[in-house]
Amino acid sequence: MPARLTRHQLHELYYHLRLNRRVDEQLVHLYRQGKVVGGVYSSLGQEAISVGAAYALEAQDVIGPMIRNVGAMLVRGYRPRDVFLQYLARQDGPTGGRDANTHFGALALGVIAPISMLGELVPVLAGVALAAKLRQEKRVALTYVGDGATSTGQFHEGLNFAAVQKLPLIVIVENNGWAYSTPVEKQMAIRDIAERARGYGIPATIVDGNDVLKVYAATRLAAERARRGEGPTFIDAKTMRMKGHAEHDDARYMPKELLEAWRKKDPILRFEKYLAQKKLMVAEEKAALDARIENEIRADVAFAEASPFPAPNAAAQPVWA
């Protein structure tokens, strides 16, 4: 088992889980106010995967987040203000209003900007891992994929390449049961997506994706393995998409009882309960962290709303060609 987390680290995990949720809730408000340019893709109920995995990495490591991994971006050092500015397409945002949602990144923070094409980040992060291996740097690359994304060719090609080359790569499938309106059982004939990785000779762990400590521990072990030069690890994290694909989708095709059952497994409530029961966070500590988050959210929404839209003539620059 990886080294035990200190009380301070547990509080940091709680802080990021809660911050992820609050950023998400705030984005929904902004969307309903008509202020978001584009869609809002919620990570409600999936925060433990984003936060637990990113928190298990080190500063020199690199992640390739997907649309529901705002939590991972916050762990890497982005602030709520960056997320709001980006979703509101403002000049001061990470892409200066040129791109939407989570399509931003910075090598300084070890974040490769995602794009929409599903599965594409697997070969890209395998490339990052290959560079680390060739340069003999103790760098680990990690990417998240959806269950749907594991049916793309890019996912399979990237995974096989990482296996053959023994790359320091971690791939986490966020199995939230749905790819848009398609349930997993209508998309593949296997029960555990872990089997897809095992087919390429990659060890795969199955974890409860709503348990932040389990996700953290699995990622930590995978990162240690990668740093020892033992190659890639696949983590099959089971969770549930608690909303439609995005805010425009009312999810009427999702069974109500399913959502009800998963609401009881909410990752943040579970972690709060654990911390309280083990006396690892007292009421005053929780209140102080919650207040800090509320202040940050309020200030960052105000900052983003006050930021100007980019000047129209800025659209043509900077461009690559």
Ligand X SMILES: Cc1ncc(C[n+]2csc(CCOP(=O)(O)OP(=O)(O)O)c2C)c(N)n1
Tell me the catalytic residues: 241, 245, 253
Which part of the chain contacts ligand X (CB under 6 A), choosing from 106-114, 174-182, 280-288, 302-310? Answer: 174-182
Find where tokens 């990113």 sit: 54
**Contact flag: residue 180 with ligand X (CB under 6 A):** yes
| Cis peptide preceding 318, ω within 30 of 0 | yes
Q: Which of 197, 157, 192, 179 is nearest to 254 (CA)?
A: 179
Q: Residue 249: which region, alpha, beta or left (left: phi > 0; alpha: psi -120 to 50)?
A: beta
Which part of the chain contacts ligand X (CB under 6 A), choosing from 19-27, 133-141, 143-151, 309-317? Answer: 143-151
**Contact flag: residue 147 with Mg ion (CB under 5 A):** yes
**Contact flag: residue 158 with ligand X (CB under 6 A):** no
- Residue 114: DSSP 8-state: P
Measure the CA–CA gap between 321 and 315, rounded to whole angstroms.
13
**Contact flag: residue 146 with Mg ion (CB under 5 A):** yes
Measure the CA–CA gap between 312 and 78, rounded to whole angstroms.
26
Choosing among ligand X, Mg ion, none, which partner's interface includes residue 180 (Cβ < 5 to 8 Å by kind)? ligand X
Residue type, 213: L
- If DSSP codes are grouped into helix, strand and coil, which group holds residue 141? strand
**Contact flag: residue 144 with ligand X (CB under 6 A):** no
Measure the CA–CA gap between 207 and 280, rounded to whole angstroms.
23
Among 11, 16, 21, 68, binds ligand X (CB under 6 A): 68
Tokens of 273: 């309960």
**Contact flag: residue 293 with ligand X (CB under 6 A):** no
Which part of the chain contacts Mg ion (CB under 5 A), choosing from 18-26, 142-150, 212-220, 293-301? Answer: 142-150
Measured from the CB atom, the residue of 124 and 281 that comes closer to ligand X is 124
Tokens of 21: 């949720």
Shortest Cβ 304–ligand X spacing (Å): 24
**Contact flag: residue 179 with ligand X (CB under 6 A):** yes
Choosing among Mg ion, ligand X, none, which partner's interface includes residue 152 (Cβ < 5 to 8 Å by kind)? ligand X
**Contact flag: residue 43 with Mg ion (CB under 5 A):** no
**Contact flag: residue 172 with ligand X (CB under 6 A):** no
Radius of gyration for the chain, computed over Cα atoms and rounded to the nearest angstrom: 19
